A and B are shown apart, each in its own frame.
Chain A
Amino acid sequence: MTDATHGTPLRNKGKSILEVDARTKKRNAAEARFKGYGIAAIGISLFFLVSLLIAIISNGIPAFTQTFVNVEVELLEEKLDKNGNRDIADIKKVSTFGYKPLIENAMVKAAEGIETELSDKDLSKILSASAAAILRDYVIANPDQIGETVEFRLLTSSRVDGYMKGRVVREDLARDKNLDAAHLDLIDVMVERGAVERVFNWDFITGSDASESRPEQAGIGVSMLGSFFMMLVVLVLALPIGVAASIYLEEFAPQNRFTDLIEVNISNLAAVPSIVFGILGLAVFIQFAHLPQSAPIVGGLTLTLMTLPTIVISTRASLKAVPPSIRDAALGVGASKMQAIFHHVLPLAMPGILTGTIIGLAQALGETAPLLLIGMVGYIATNYPEGVTSGFLDPNSAMPAQIYEWAKRADPAFYERAWGGIIVLLVFLLTMNLIAIILRRRFERRW
C-alpha cells in the first residue's frame, strides 16, 4: 500500500509549507488579478469624477464674480423732479428712459481724459441695461438725494463682463452691434484707474432670473426658494407617510397575496421614470385638483410621489436589518408591539431611514423632468414670493429647472450661469449628504 492509493487527502502530506505549491500559486494569482480589476475600476471612476469636477468648477466659478463699474451720477433735479417739490408720485412718473441722459453724462465724466473714438452716447453701452432701473429704484427710495451726486456701482453688460473673464475677445466683437473694440480699450483704461472691477457676485446666489437680454443680472436665488418650498413639501409628506407605510408593511401587515402585490408595486414604482410622475402630477394635481400651475406645492406633491418608494424601500430595509432578538426582548418584558417598534426597533433603524430619506430628497432636489410637465421649467422666476403661502402657491421655478433654462438660452453668459447653478446645486446636495452622514453617526448604536 502506497500513499497514492489513499487519494487526495494525503497528497500534501510531508510537503514543506515553506514552498508554495502550484495550486496555491494559482489561487493567489487569481486574487491578485481580482484586486487589480477592482483598483482599475476605482481608478477609472475617480478619473471621471475628477474630470467632471474640474469641468464644473472651471466653467462655473466665473459665474460667482461679476464686473461692476463705479460711476458718480449726478441726479439732476430738472430731469427727475421738475416741480422741485419731491412729490413721490411725480418722481415715479419718470420712467427708466428718463434716467438714460443721467447715465450718459455720468459715463462721459467717468471716461474723462481717456482718448476714444466712441461718441458720448455710445459710452454707456458698456453698462448693463439694468442700470437705469437701479438708479430709478434708488431715487424712489431716497428722494432727498435728488440734486446730489451719488456714487453707484453699476453692472457692466455681459460682453464687458465676458471680456474681463476672458470669454470675449476683440475678434468676437466684429459682428457685435453693441460693443466695439474701442469699448474694450476704454475698459482697459478704466480697470487701471480702478473704476471697473470684478468682485464676488452675491446677486448670483440671492438674485432672481433675468430676461434674455440681461444675463449679467440673472441669479438663482428665487428658484432656490422654489426648490426649498418643494423640499419642504416632500419632507413633510414623504417622510411620515413613507415611514408609517413601511412600519405597517414590515411589522404589522399579514403576509398574503395582497401585501405581496403592494410590495412588488412599490419596488416597481421606484424604477418608474420620473417623467411619468410628472404627467401623473399634471393630471391629478393640476387638471383634477385644480392646484395652481408652476407652483412649488404641485412640484412638491409630484416629487413626493417620486420619493415615497425610495423612502419606503430604504426604511423597510433598515427595519429588516434590526435583529429580531431585540423585538423578542421587548415583547418578552411585556411591551406591546407598538412599544417594541417605537422604543427599540425604530431608534436602531433610524440611521438607515434618515439616509434613505436624505438620498430621496437629494434625488428630488435634482429632478427636472417631472417639473417640465407641471410648468416649473421655463417659468422665469423674476420675483421673490411675498410670504410663506405665496412661496408654496405662486409660480416659481426650481434650481435644476433654472439651470436647464439657462443652458437653453443663446447667450454664452447664460451658459456660464448654468454651470454656476450646477455648483450651487451640488453644494446643496453635498450639504444634504453631509447631514445624512452626521445624523447616521449620531444615531448609530451597536447591538
Chain B
Amino acid sequence: MEDMYQMDRTMSTEQDIKIRANGVQVYYADNQAIKDVDVEIQDKMVTAFIGPSGCGKSTFLRCINRMNDTIDICRVEGDIRIDGEDIYDPRVDPVQLRAKVGMVFQKPNPFPKSIYDNVAYGPKIHGLARNKAELDEIVEKALRRGAIWDEVKDRLHAPGTGLSGGQQQRLCIARAVATEPEVLLMDEPCSALDPIATAQVEELIDELRQNYSVVIVTHSMQQAARVSQRTAFFHLGNLVEFGDTDKIFTNPEDPRTESYISGRIG
C-alpha cells in the first residue's frame, strides 16, 4: 500500500514540470542578453544548455536562482516559476530560493577554508545537522557524491583552495549537493576536469537525476548527449530549439542547431 503510493508519486512527478520560464528577457544595462525565452525544465531529469560562447547560457542559468540579483546593472523580465511559484514574486526571499536551487559555478570557487568546512558550511547555516556526528555524515555523503571522498578523506582539514582545479570543482559540487537542493544548476562543471573526473561527475549527474532536476551548461556536445534527456540550444540570446536530446542531436529542426552541433558555428 505504502509502496504503491510511493510509486504512484514517482510516476506522476516523472512528468512534472519543475521550472517553467515564460517570456524571459534579461538586460545588462541596455544590452539584451536573453531574448524572450520560454523553457520547461522537468523534474528528475537532466536538461542541457548548449550554445556558442556569449549566447547567454550562464545568464539564463543565473536567473533560475536569482544570482543575477547581485549584478547591479542586470534586469530580468518575464516569468519564472518553480513548482508553480513565481520566483521573482516580491514575497520571495532569494536566500531561501537559493537553498532550494543549488549552483555549481563555471570557475571553481571553494571557500578559503578547510575541505570539511567548505562542505559543512551550507548544512550549518540551514540547520540541517543537529550535532557534529550528523554533520560529519552529511559531509562524507556529499564528498562521496562529489566523487572526491577517496582523494580527500585523509586531509579533510586541509584548505580547499590547496586542491587541484578539477578537485576544487568536485568539491564545489559536493558543497552544492550537501544542502540537499531540489534543483541543481551546473555551469560547465567539467570544463576544468580530466576525462576520468569528467566521467565521475557525469555519473554523479546521472545519479542526482534520481532526486533532483539538474540543469547543466556544457560546451561538449558529447557530454550533453551522454548525460541529458532534454537539450536547449541558445544562440545570440535566443532559445533556438528545445526538446529531447535524442531528437536535437539526430534530427534538429532548426538549421542553426544543426550547424552548431555539427561544428559549423560556434
**Chain A positions near chain B (C-beta within 8 angstroms):** 254-255, 323, 325-337, 339, 343-344, 348, 445-447
A331 in complex: contacting residue of B98, B110, B161, CB < 8 Å = B98
A-contact bits for B103-125, CB 8 A (1 contact / 0 none):
11101011110000000011001
Q: Which residues of B contact A445 (CB under 8 A)?
A: 112, 159, 161
Q: Report Cα–Cα, A328/B95, bound state, in Å.
A: 12
Q: Which residues of A contact B102 (CB under 8 A)?
A: 332-334
| A329 and B95 contact, CB distance less than 8 A | no
| A333 and B105 contact, CB distance less than 8 A | no
Given contacts A325-B105, A446-B112, contact A332 B161 (CB under 8 A): no
Of all chain A residues, which has the CB nearest B65?
A: A332
| B159 and A333 contact, CB distance less than 8 A | no
B112 in complex: contacting residue of A254, A326, A334, CB < 8 Å = A326
A-contact bits for B63-99, CB 8 A (1 contact / 0 none):
0010100101000000000000000000000011011
Q: Report Cα–Cα, A331/B99, bound state, in Å.
A: 9
Given A332-B105, A333-B99, 8 other A-B contacts at CB below 8 A? A328-B70, A332-B103, A333-B122, A334-B96, A334-B100, A334-B125, A335-B121, A344-B111
Q: Report Cα–Cα, A298/B70, bound state, in Å.
A: 42
| B125 and A325 contact, CB distance less than 8 A | no
**Chain B positions near chain A (C-beta within 8 angstroms):** 65, 67, 70, 72, 95-96, 98-100, 102-105, 107, 109-112, 121-122, 125-126, 159, 161-162, 172, 175-176, 178-179
Q: Which residues of B contact A446 (CB under 8 A)?
A: 112, 159, 161-162
Of all chain B residues, which has the CB nearest A445?
A: B112
* A and B contact pairs by CB, cutoff 8 A, 23 listed: A254-B72, A325-B105, A325-B107, A325-B109, A326-B111, A326-B112, A328-B67, A328-B70, A329-B105, A330-B111, A331-B98, A332-B65, A332-B176, A333-B98, A333-B125, A333-B175, A333-B176, A334-B95, A335-B95, A335-B122, A337-B95, A344-B111, A446-B159
| A348 and B70 contact, CB distance less than 8 A | no
Q: Which residues of A contact B122 (CB under 8 A)?
A: 333-335
Q: Report Cα–Cα, A323/B161, bound state, in Å.
A: 13
| B121 and A255 contact, CB distance less than 8 A | no
- Interface of chain A: mostly helix, strand, loop or mixed: helix
A328 in complex: contacting residue of B105, B126, B159, B178, CB < 8 Å = B105
| B112 and A339 contact, CB distance less than 8 A | no
Given contacts A326-B112, A339-B125, contact A334 B107 (CB under 8 A): no
| A327 and B112 contact, CB distance less than 8 A | no
Q: Report Cα–Cα, A329/B67, bound state, in Å.
A: 10
Given contacts A325-B109, A326-B112, A328-B109, contact A335 B125 (CB under 8 A): yes
What distance in Å separates the Cβ of A260 from its nearest Cβ neighbour in chain B? Answer: 13
Q: Report Cα–Cα, A336/B69, bound state, in Å.
A: 13
Which of A326, A335, A348 is the most central at the interface, judged by chain B CB atoms within 10 Å of its CB? A335
Q: Report Cα–Cα, A344/B175, bound state, in Å.
A: 15
Q: Which residues of B contact A325 (CB under 8 A)?
A: 105, 107, 109
What distance in Å separates the Cβ of B122 from its nearest Cβ neighbour in chain A? Answer: 4
Closest 8 A/B residue pairs (Cβ): A334-B99, A325-B109, A333-B122, A447-B112, A332-B103, A329-B109, A334-B98, A445-B112
Q: Which residues of A contact B98 (CB under 8 A)?
A: 331-334
Q: Which residues of A contact B126 (CB under 8 A)?
A: 334
Q: Report Cα–Cα, A325/B104, bound state, in Å.
A: 11
Q: Report Cα–Cα, A227/B57, bound state, in Å.
A: 59
What distance in Å separates the Cβ of A320 from its nearest Cβ neighbour in chain B? Answer: 14
Q: Report Cα–Cα, A334/B123, bound state, in Å.
A: 10
Q: Report Cα–Cα, A343/B104, bound state, in Å.
A: 19
Of all chain A residues, which has the CB nearest B62?
A: A328
What distance in Å separates the Cβ of A252 from its nearest Cβ neighbour in chain B? Answer: 12
Q: Which residues of A contact B175 (CB under 8 A)?
A: 329, 333
Q: Report Cα–Cα, A335/B178, bound state, in Å.
A: 13
Q: Report Cα–Cα, A255/B172, bound state, in Å.
A: 31
Q: Which residues of A contact B159 (CB under 8 A)?
A: 445-446
